[in-house]
Amino acid sequence: MFETATAGSLPKPDWLAETAKLWPQWRAEGAALDAAKADATLLWLKVQEDIGLDVVGDGEQARQHFVHGFLVQVEGIDFEHQVKMGIRANRYEALVPQVVGELRLKGRVHAMEARLARAHTKRRLKFTLPGPMTIVDTVADRHYGGDREGRIRMAFAFADLLNHEARALEADGVDIIQFDEPAFNVYMQDAADWGVAALERAAQGLSCTTAAHICYGYGITANVDWKRTLGQEWRQYEQVFPALAKSTIDQVSLECIHSHVPPDLMRLLDGKDVMVGAIDVASDDIETPEEVAATIGTALQFVARERILPCTNCGMAPMRRDVAERKLAALVEGARLARQRWGAVP
């Protein structure tokens, strides 16, 4: 009960890559870089176990970025001629690769880190992939037409590639495959109209647990500034949760602590496990276990206790490692307190 996990990404050690950046530059090349990625994956796996997380992951240590880390193994993507483009409805600009042809996988994408993690932990293993709608919002389309219909066709093409890799990850022994879809909180109508269907295509045929991570973004300045424009009630989830509740996806994440999301929106996820964001990734302030337990207690008003999974609001990639570790320790201790208070079944 109240199994703890991260949303996915964890800070990269400074000997692996630049720190405090979403698109960090690697510190090495070739075989030395491959070895460093593996070392960082094992390091974070051990840290998560020592802290006491129930569900562990690779921390996305082998990926420069949660979207681009998948795209580097896709044919039809031009990384040599990246362009600057507004993403997440022009919330901020980023250098993104261009889609210039039909999309095909070059081969396995994440076999190394998934197999490495599976071989070194007996705990439940979660692996994250970008969702198809969020991929579409993080590339420049030069092949599918650039219009709404083109975006939909491209999303389903990416969904097929994601499904191929997801099935392989399941064969590698991954217990939970999570698709990250922050774009669902930006293009809410599109998410309900076709984004959830594309997500289901990506998860089609999987027998492992499937999850969708929907957040208000990493703790970077552009996202923090955007949140200040959203008013006192953040109701973006209201438009997409009903579609997700009808979907085949097993788990759904949401931001809770220090957010303005009305907690009663969790009722819209009836029948799903809910990853309750109890750790704020937009602040270096360390939550107390009492604060974490209180967030879980709020969720208990709207979600059955056996369906609550305490988690971080979003990934922790841009955060300092020491801060991330202390926050995860608070998450674990707060979940322990919650079990003491509300774990007994009446």
Per residue in 16-31, pLDDT (tens digit) is 999 988 889 999 999 9
**228 residue type, one letter:** R
The Cα–Cα gap between 142 and 144 comes to 6
The Cα–Cα gap between 13 and 11 comes to 6
Residue with tokens 């971080």: 312
Residue with tokens 């998934």: 114
pLDDT-derived band at 226 (thresholds 50, 70, 90) equals low
pLDDT-derived band at 158 (thresholds 50, 70, 90) equals very high
Alpha carbon separation from 162 to 64, 109, 165, 200, 236 (Å, rounded) = 18, 10, 5, 11, 25
Q: What average pLDDT is seen over the chain? A: 94
Cβ neighbours for 219, distance < 8 A, ≥ 6 positions apart: 280, 281, 282, 283, 314, 318, 319
Mean pLDDT of 25-47: 97
Is the pLDDT at 189 greater than 50? The verdict is: yes
pLDDT-derived band at 346 (thresholds 50, 70, 90) equals very low
Residue with tokens 């922050």: 182
Is the pLDDT at 48 greater than 50? The verdict is: yes
The Cα–Cα gap between 292 and 321 comes to 20
The Cα–Cα gap between 147 and 181 comes to 20
The Cα–Cα gap between 223 and 328 comes to 22
229-240 per-position pLDDT tens digit: 777 788 888 999
Cβ neighbours for 13, distance < 8 A, ≥ 6 positions apart: 40, 43, 321
Alpha carbon separation from 308 to 17, 46, 315 (Å, rounded) = 34, 25, 19
For residue 221, the SS3 value is: helix
Q: What are phi and psi of 15, to 5 degrees?
A: -80, -10
The Cα–Cα gap between 83 and 87 comes to 12
If 0-12 CB within 10 Å is exposed, 13-18 middle and 19+ buried, where does residue 164 land? middle
Q: What percent of the chain has a predicted confidence (pLDDT) above 90? A: 86
Q: Where are the alpha helices (DSSP H) in the chain?
A: 30-51, 68-71, 111-119, 132-136, 148-171, 188-190, 196-202, 221-227, 237-245, 289-299, 321-342
pLDDT-derived band at 257 (thresholds 50, 70, 90) equals very high
Is the pLDDT at 264 greater than 80? The verdict is: yes
Q: What percent of the chain has a predicted confidence (pLDDT) above 70? A: 97
If 0-12 CB within 10 Å is exposed, 13-18 middle and 19+ buried, where does residue 27 land? middle
80-111 per-position pLDDT tens digit: 999 998 878 677 788 999 999 999 999 999 99
Residue with tokens 């690769």: 97
Is the pLDDT at 180 greater than 70? The verdict is: yes
Is 298:266 a contact under the CB 8 Å cutoff?
no
Q: What are phi and psi of 300, to 5 degrees?
A: -65, -20
